[in-house]
Structure 1
Amino acid sequence: MTPHEQTARDGWRVFEATGFPPGDPLPALPPPPPWRRFHGSPAQPPPPDGEAAALRRLGPGDTIPQLGPDEIDVVNAALVLRRPLLVTGPPGIGKSSLAYLLARELGLGRVLEWNIVSRTVLRDGLHTHDAMGLAQAIAAWQAGLGGTVERPAAQDAEADGTERPDDGPRPPALGDFITLGPLGTALLPYDRPRVLLIDELDKSDIDLPNDLLHVLENGSYDVPELVRAAAASARVHTADPGGHALVRHGRVECREFPVVVITSNGEREFPAAFRRRCIPLEMRPPTREQLLAIVERHLTTRPEGTEALVDLFVQRVQGGGTHALDQLLNAVQLTTAGGFQADGDGRKLVELLLRDLAKGR
């Protein structure tokens, strides 16, 4: 039985890891559990297309051979239960690429990326407020210097539901100085879920996983600046290029819980309260055949000498240390460049590209 036939029979499987973009109509997710239903409003327009980024991550091929049947079932379970997917495995194994595969295959548009560092806090992912910019704009407006961009009357009507005469420059709008982050944008009330990649959460401050619990459980958050302003609605910037959204009463709540892919290199343990809210997926190093397929997918061909480089890469991986898939792709690309000689000094360069990343040099 093919994966498509199995999906049609069981109904709950919507993701097959084929890498094919969806047809028309777009695939629908199974209904969420009663405890994972949300009712945010107003509904947002569909997100921008993300195929250009998917091509960089996945290549133009039609298969992703790294996921086996068990791994595909785990991903589908996370989709059905509307729970974040906690993906673990060695660096460079393709954990973050899973988010782009999901977005492409399910037709969910541009992936929202939240790259975690040691200084990252929850507010970075939810929203930022340019208080200094707002103060300067208000001062310029009060001084009559024309330091703000006039907002069309139609835009004001959209924000608070009233028509206003076009009576010249208006005071700066608070929403113009608020930008929703990747997490904040993913939780906007879209009719179909957004894909959010929280990359390398294990590099975060020790408090961030616990800080995420409330947001991931409730699918909502408040923008304090808008709550204090007591405005009925405000038009704010989003994490999409040129994107805007209408926020009512300072509160954001999703309609469909986003597809959240959280990656970890296994550098630390997460609290039990956080782990119980996630579906765990461990990605294993690809086999020799899978590596050959990955190279062929990205380069659209299998250049001469690819098998020897793959064998060398597999030998290095089995010998321990840390190696990433892009090291292999770089080596194959370089050795197939016109005029490159893979012996002598060229051999040294290949060794450099395939070095053990755990050694720090």
Structure 2
Amino acid sequence: MSGPETADGRDWRVFRATGAAPSGPPPQLLPAPPWRRFRGGPAQPAPPHDEQAALRRLGEVDAVPQLDGDSIDVVNAALLLRRPLLVTGAPGVGKSTLAHLVSRELGLGRVLEWNIVSRTTLRDGLYAHDALGRAQAIAAWRAGLRPHGTTGADDRDEEEPLPPALGDFITLGPLGTALLPYDRPRVLLVDELDKSDIDLPNDLLHVLENGSYEIPELVRDAADGARVRTSDPGCSAQLRQGRVECREFPVVVITSNGEREFPAAFRRRCLPLEMRTPTREQLLAIVDSHLRVRPPDAEALVDLFTRQVEEGGTHSLDQLLNAVQMTTAGAFPADASGRKLLDMLLRDLAKGR
């Protein structure tokens, strides 16, 4: 997809929606607007990759874009402006998959996933403090200072162990990890925000606008810095004075099934993207990318799936993939009993059964 070039001759679009991983150096984003530049530090190591998660979500790459041209432009605008994407659409249309599509194509590493429920709070996304675990560790440390039978410090040859560090009991959540100072943006998926308590979108405003937050427990701690765990398995980060500020604002993909309206102040900070059911060509490309072969019945099932959606039914891409996969199973019955099973897999989800 070609388009207008910038003053230095580069196409302003870096995202093509094919999901193809970069063959060489990953594409570089254009500089952020002055009002979206941040100065967090110290810089964190590059995040790990999770190719297995990408394969589950996307399958192998395919040359067919999985979004239409207008949607691709909206995603690129969000990348350029460093603003969150508010993605709406019917359940199962591929909203959350968009985060993995962007991450793989731009080489941004493991996607951080924050799954929202009615009890979710802003702090859940930022960090967790295991206060009980720390209290138990401190009690054990104090008990270990005077082992049974000793009379004082002069009777011990070894140095006294240090008290448990506060940072050992703090773990950054997906949002908190995404806002660490990486040289390239992380991808954060905030899934089904419309399931949240009514206050969460408003609570997010400050963090999304300022790209920073504080951990009060570390701010009050006497130590100047602390090493804490992150949401990436086996990874940690060094924090200064309990404050976190990004260097590059993360690529934030917020999904919603349209079950509620969000406050105007929240919507103003996001770019809206409505995802529609993929075209027939895109559906066939998705089947090919996951199965790597096109079964004989694939086109007929895609046509049936498309027709059901056009008639107003509620259907998920998972249903189509499941139905096509069934036709590849050995000895799958091609008679009426097989047809009945396929109809069950492609049932209208709005009917509740």
Q: TM-score, normalised by structure 2?
A: 0.92
The amino acid that maps onto 2:184 is R
Instruction: Give deviations 1:125-146, integer Å, cap 9, x for gaps.
Output: 0000000000001011111189
1:3: Cα distance to partner?
Answer: 3.4
Counterpart of 1:15?
15
Mapped partners of 1:171, 1:235: distance in 2: 15
Mapped partners of 2:4, 2:198: distance in 1: 44
Contact 2:2/2:11, CA 8 A, preserved across alignment? no
The amino acid that maps onto 1:269 is E
Contact 1:231/1:250, CA 8 A, preserved across alignment? no
Counterpart of 1:3?
2
**Does 1:211 pair with 2:210?**
no
Tell me the secondary structure at the aligned position of residue 144 of structure 2. Answer: coil
The amino acid that maps onto 1:3 is S
**Which range is displaced more, 135-144 or 334-343?**
334-343
Residues 242-261 of structure 1 aligned to structure 2 (within 5 Å) = 242-261=234-253
Mapped partners of 1:312, 1:335: distance in 2: 14
**Does 1:181 pair with 2:173?**
yes
The amino acid that maps onto 1:261 is V
1:64: Cα distance to partner?
Answer: 5.0
Identity of aligned residues (%): 75
1:62: Cα distance to partner?
Answer: 2.5
1:6: Cα distance to partner?
Answer: 6.5
1:189: Cα distance to partner?
Answer: 0.4
1:4: Cα distance to partner?
Answer: 8.6
Contact 1:61/1:300, CA 8 A, preserved across alignment? no
1:231 paired residue among 218, 223, 227? 223
1:348: Cα distance to partner?
Answer: 2.1
Mapped partners of 2:346, 2:160: distance in 1: 63
Contact 2:62/2:285, CA 8 A, preserved across alignment? no
**Does 1:51 pair with 2:43?**
no
The amino acid that maps onto 2:66 is Q
Contact 1:17/1:63, CA 8 A, preserved across alignment? no
Counterpart of 1:106?
106
Instruction: Give deviations 1:53-105, integer Å, cap 9, x for gaps.
Output: 11111111223533122111111110110000111111111111111111111
Counterpart of 2:33?
33
1:169: Cα distance to partner?
Answer: 2.5
Counterpart of 1:290?
282
Tell me the secondary structure at the aligned position of residue 269 of structure 2. Answer: coil
Contact 1:115/1:198, CA 8 A, preserved across alignment? yes
Mapped partners of 2:52, 2:2: distance in 1: 27
The amino acid that maps onto 1:281 is L
2:271 paired residue among 279, 294, 317? 279
Question: Cα distance 1:25–1:296, how it changes in 2: closer, same or farther (>3 A)?
Answer: closer
Could you tell me which runs of 5 or more consecutive residues in structure 1 were left unpaired when the two chains were aligned: 147-165
Mapped partners of 1:302, 1:11: distance in 2: 34
Mapped partners of 2:350, 2:343: distance in 1: 15
Q: TM-score, normalised by structure 1?
A: 0.90
Mapped partners of 1:6, 1:50: distance in 2: 33
Tell me the secondary structure at the aligned position of residue 210 of structure 1. Answer: helix
Question: Cα distance 1:108–1:242, how it changes in 2: closer, same or farther (>3 A)?
Answer: same
Counterpart of 1:316?
308
The amino acid that maps onto 2:286 is I
1:20: Cα distance to partner?
Answer: 1.7
RMSD: 1.9
1:346 paired residue among 311, 321, 338? 338
Tell me the secondary structure at the aligned position of residue 326 of structure 1. Answer: helix
Residues 96-245 of structure 1 aligned to structure 2 (within 5 Å) = 96-144=96-144, 167=159, 169-245=161-237
Number of matched pairs: 341
**Which range is displaced more, 49-58 or 180-189?**
49-58
